[in-house]
Structure 1
Amino acid sequence: MHFYSLMSSLIISVFFLYISESESVKTLKNLVVKRGGSLTILCFYDGKYKSNPKYWCKGYYWSSCGIVARTNTRGRTSVTDYPTQNMFTVELNSLQDSDSGDYLCAVEIKDGSDDGDYLYLTVSADPAVSVINSRVSGQEGGSVSVQCLYRTDYKNKQKQWCRFRDWRCLTSQNSAVQISDDGRGAVSVEMSGLKKSDAGWYWFSAGEVGVTVHLTVTERPTNPAVSVINSRVSGQEGGSVSVQCLYRTDYKNKQKQWCRFRDWHCLTSQNSAVQISDDGRGAVSVEMSGLKKSDAGWYWFSAGEVGVTVHLTVTERPTTTTAVTTISSTVKTSISETKSEANQTETTERSSNSAIYTNTTGEDADMCTAVSKKKKPLSEVALGTDVIYGNVATEATNEPLSPDAGGDEMLYGNILPK
């Protein structure tokens, strides 16, 4: 996947109150952009206007609308026509407060009145919705991640990822699109299994506020500059996880970095929690240890200015209980409980009259058989000279399995060879 600039200054916002009712020309009605930022406006038109000149003018009324830019002009404002998509775009750069106001997406009509649709643009210091990069790129068969931000007052608004081509929107993930909202002002949209047909314009919205994003899908190179073995990895709390990264030999001397999207913190060498090892032959291993829940999220590995995204999931550490029961304690408990049921007057356990000994019959033994004078199943334990026997796996030892000895109820351990 081509790695797009992560610190782009193109942070834009779009406020969608409604789409024009016009059948011939339409655009998004209310837009908000961050002061000093840039904005791409999409203007759609009827097929009959494919060959007509397009322009962008400032003003609400046709009579007073001043033309700012025409088709194929370049500068702080530029207009580009895409006849095959029945659409033209208006690129606005370095926007200031004075750029706020009414505008028209217009189509010039020869020998008639021009056609178009208006919108209102507001330049704001604190946009409601923004993206880290308004233009992203991915390879066929690969994936691309779009990092979206929203103000805290939009936390409970519905989040959507929409495609302009067919106006189709998603509010939750499917097999090709994963939408993750951290609830703290950031939404990650990942599109996987990219196809050429996925290329085009999209928008992300929180409630009625949104932002436009353009996706380019390129052919998959036979030998990408940077790649990872797995773009999604998982580890447990307190454990570790390893990410295997690859780079082409011509990137051997480029700086390698492991970075976290959440705070844009990057490492070029290891610290106590992250170990970065470059073998100098095209492979870098990144190992994160002592994982915490807060480590979960999106990261990227880069070599020079080229990189690849990786998602880390941190799961809870499973709670396990190991039960260890010794032969002597099991036998004593069985005898004590049985005696208590059979004879209420016998209140003390006769553990002092029970013993278990070992009799090693082979040097390499790992099976112990508990026996006594008579043989009955463990489920038929009784008083007096009744028997307790059963096979219990243990390590071979020549020491008594219980320090208790004596009495007429003797339990012996017989160590059998393998």
Structure 2
Amino acid sequence: MTLLVFIFLLVFVQAESADGQLYPQTSSSSMLGPRQVTGLLHGSVTVKCFYKATRVNKHDRKYWCKESTRQCSTIVSSNGYLSREYEGRATITDFPDYGLFTIEISDLRKSDMGSYKCGVGINDKLFFKVKLDVSEDSVVPEEAQLFYIKQQGAVTISCDFGSDYGTARKYLCRMTENQCSLVIDTYGNINPSYKGRVLLNYNEAPGSFNIFMTQLKRQDSGLYLCGVGSYGTSGETKELNIHVYEGNTEQALVKGVPDGSVSVECYYDPKGNVTLKYLCKWKINGCTQLIDNFGDVLDSYEGRIVMHDNPENGTFTVILNQLQENDAGYYWCMTDGEQEKKSATELKIVEGQPNLRGVKEIIVVPGSPLSMTCSYPCKYYSYSKYWCKWKNTACDPLISYEQNQTGLVVNCDQDSRILSLNFDQVAPTDQGWYWCGVKHEGHYGETMAVYLRIQGAFPGSEEAPSAESNNDAAIFGIDSRLRKSKIAAGVESPTESPTEDNNSKVLLSVLIPLGVMFLLLAAIFAFVKFRFFKNSDRVSVASYRTNISMTDFENASQYGAKDNSCMEESHETQLGEMNEYVITTGSPKEAPKTTKRGSKEEAEMAYSTFLLNSESISAQAPSNNKT
């Protein structure tokens, strides 16, 4: 029986010891500090001691003691104790909000060399051991850099080996008992357990680079080396001591469906000197920036991504919609603050349908009324709904039942669960992306993107696709519901396109003004032409009067020429040898009266006589020739 109890205790101790090597449950599980520090003779040294910032630990005693064969003699503590030997040379400072206290020892002596403990409490339950060396050299050797990170947190590591290693391979590896297992290097190699959680970036200075690690886990605690060249054969290394303590977990995985959307919430210190915030998509050899707070958006993500910054609570939210299969991967929230969190979120595309439904593209002619609709499910009944016009800098929501300066109105019909955005008259400047979305308790939720295309808004713009070629496109030149009713009644053929009707209207509106203008010009031309011909006739008569001789009128009676042919009862009387026409009216016994002619009548008669003489001469010409 005694043997069985001994075996059980031996196995339990071995198991506890083995567990402590992987996940230390002794002092190092709740406290962490450098394993060794070195200071120059007569110089000073500072030791940072990290502890778990629980309510008890924040107010408990902190101490620094030197080990001997029998005990650990206290040198300085947070209760005000200071060893006489270290008066004026040792100080302790506690920062309970950060879970950190520091020990500073000045005027170092050879006798200060030895093993020390950094602890919390009045016993040896919470402590870690530190070895102090005092060197007489002029330069202190570089020590392991200590990082104390909250679980699911992030860390930034800077490594600089000088310009001599500017083109050499850079890497990060984790120390084990016999070797250093690769985490990531500049040749594109990465440990599968760190995929999407670690990133290596070059700095401007040759031989200098940064390593970002995020979503850290308890099992990530340990000793790491960043280096250049090849470990164990060439190059240099720098030792890194990373400890991950328990804390609240943060969002690490989001899921989206094809054509749906996801939102990623990022955190930063609003009181810090943070000017740049951006989201990038992780890849083995870098991180491609998608959007930042200055409005820079990757071309292929226009209309698909937007950033909402909230400095009051130190968060910025990035929304990505119109999801595709190739959007799956790891996304990093980044800032330009060195001490800021760099967090990573994994996006997975799963089967399913978006909750927000609607037409994804609308084509409309300018001046037409329009109502864009977005339907939502019952689970979004109590959520805030909005429409917004996308810009690269923001997508400021138009909350339901509110109207903005442009005259756009957002209405929400809760009975049919439809959110609509109404336009009185669509203008060319309205072309672009519009988002329908929901919010809940200050957090942005699902969104749906719609592209509004205005015909003729820009030179070379695309024509509206037919309904047969694009099921997601709608054409709003006329009321689509009215057209559907006409088709159902047989009044209109389904193949008739409202686009053709709209084009005819546009063509008529252009041709009618042109036709009116053409008729006006033709009338003016005809009037001018008429005046010209009238003036030319008058000139011709005058020329005839000028060229005609008086002999032309001597034998006018031979040709039956009559003056005033419209007079009543005209009579001809021969007076001697002169042939003269005397026109009389009434009784023949009355004395004859000669009618006076005006210049116009004389000209007309001269012209008629000239024509008659010309015809008579032409007719008698052959007989005269024979005589």
* TM-score, length-scaled by structure 2: 0.28
Higher relative contact order (CA 8 A, sep 6+): 1
Structure number having the greater strand percentage: 1
Structure number having the greater helix percentage: 2
* TM-score, length-scaled by structure 1: 0.38
Computing the radius of gyration from Cα coordinates, the structure with the larger value is 2
